[in-house]
Structure 1
Amino acid sequence: VAFTTSKHMAWSLNAARHLSGEESERLFALALERIHALDEGTYGVQNVALTLNAIATFSMRSEHFRRLLREDERAEQRLVQLVLSQRLEDLNSWQSVSSMVNAAVHLTWSNASNTAILKHLSQATKTQLPAHGASPQSIAMIANGLSHFSYKDPAVLAMLSTALSAAGGKGLSAQGIGVVVNSLYRMGERDEGMLRVCCAAALLLPPSSFGPQSLALLLNGLSGLGWRDDKLVGRLSRVCMQLTPQDPELLPQHLANIVNSYARMGQGSEEFFVHMAFLITEFLERGSVGFKGV
């Protein structure tokens, strides 16, 4: 593989995310070597987003890839510079901007690097992105990035609120709703417009749409912000009562967040808490690490 152009590198790396073993390892190492040699001016926004996301995916895959990335300090500097070199007027795509923010969340970089990237992308969000036409997924990824790095910018939040209201919550998944609401809680932002849209969208989704993680995120956010929606909270309690110990996605952390959320809100029937106690007991009997010491 020659990696003679940034597009070649971006698309090859993106495809390599689906490979395993020595092939993906060799391609990843080669990309880190070549990323310094390619002309900065040849990288368009889409290629930067693809490259950044592919490398983030590799770094999440194993400690080996994270070590390779940590050991190459120039790679971090180069990738950060690629993001910062993108002109604001070119950062006009919700998909590309949110994709780069999401990649930064999963890359174990220095605080200085993450702050520089988020500052640049936040500036683009509030000045270049259109208020209409944003996908709820993109809005959720940017909100998650802001909360992950504790980066507060009222103008960016206002833009996200406007974009979400314009979309009307259409296309919001249960996971996306949970991410947005929990991100608002983590930022300490009680944006009523976004909360209303999210709650309305959640009520329209079938119960089967909610998994343990989306339930925990949404309930944790609602209870933390002190947001009352008795109809939604009551409906979610019935969904929680369908959770079983056999669910492979159910973790002790989810149960802890769900139980704590209903306790904070002063809601939940006796039947609900009995079922939660049953689930917790099952985890304890298995010797679950998540409940160790309880």
Structure 2
Amino acid sequence: MTTFQIKCFLAVADTLNFTKAAQQLFIAQSSLSRNIFNLEKEIGLTLLNRNKKTVRLTPAGSILYEEFTKTLNQIEQAIQKASATITGSDRMAIGILETQRTANYLPQAVNQLRAEYPNISATFQRGTFKQLRDWLAADEIDLAITLGFDLPDYQASMDVSCQSFIRSLPICALSRLHPLAEQQSITFEDLKNDTLVTIGPEVSSCGYEGMILLCQLHGFEPKDIITTYSLESSMLILENNNCFSIIDENSNFVNNPALRCIPISTGNTLNVVAIWKNNSSQPYVSHLVSLLTQTAKK
């Protein structure tokens, strides 16, 4: 079976007309018929029912029409990725969740990638949960580095892959002026009368719902809830009010002198993940993800 035989079959299946299919492929109709005959003979299936007036797909033909279409698209994408490795114009755009610290893993991984492939140029930009999803959907970035709970919001609109590479413990962020700020550890019982600051559902539905559920699992509904569009806004609110938020320890919240970040047990970790499109035309994405994973383990 050859890719040209498959293309011949798909052309007839699209047009249901041998003459038009032959014209599309710029071949003689006899050559088209011979290629489809050889394909059917090789796989042992009748793909088309034809007579002098009509052409129809058989049930087997309908199934293979869908599968062959996917296969040819995958082959074309693979060739594009392979070709990109030798064009000398490789560019990779990486989006990083605002407030995430990257010095502990990203420079090492990117420098290793550049050492292996000197032609690569990388650009970086920070964004909110929603901005990263929008940028990836529009192919403005090739890779998003974010928190794992946001993955379902990506999957709702894109076919993506995800790799976790840092396990980050949850911490409770409070203003230094908060009455609980001097405690060495904190529980949800301590927080049940406080105002919760969390990212809004329009920014990360899973992030918002997960935060509310976390409080409910510990026996209370938040007294008040302040929702924000960005983590930077959350940080600003926390600096100036007696309220709380649950963040991950890899966040630069922990470096803010106006905040006190205290360990809290939630029963879960907040994973830092890399997310990319499965049909990405950037050939080096998966290799960079592997390097991120290796770097984070050191």
TM-score bracket relative to the smaller structure: under 0.3
Q: Relative contact order (alpha carbons < 8 A, sep ≥ 6): 1 or 2 greater? A: 2
Query: More strand by proportion, 1 or 2?
Result: 2
- Using the size of structure 2 for normalisation, the TM-score is 0.24
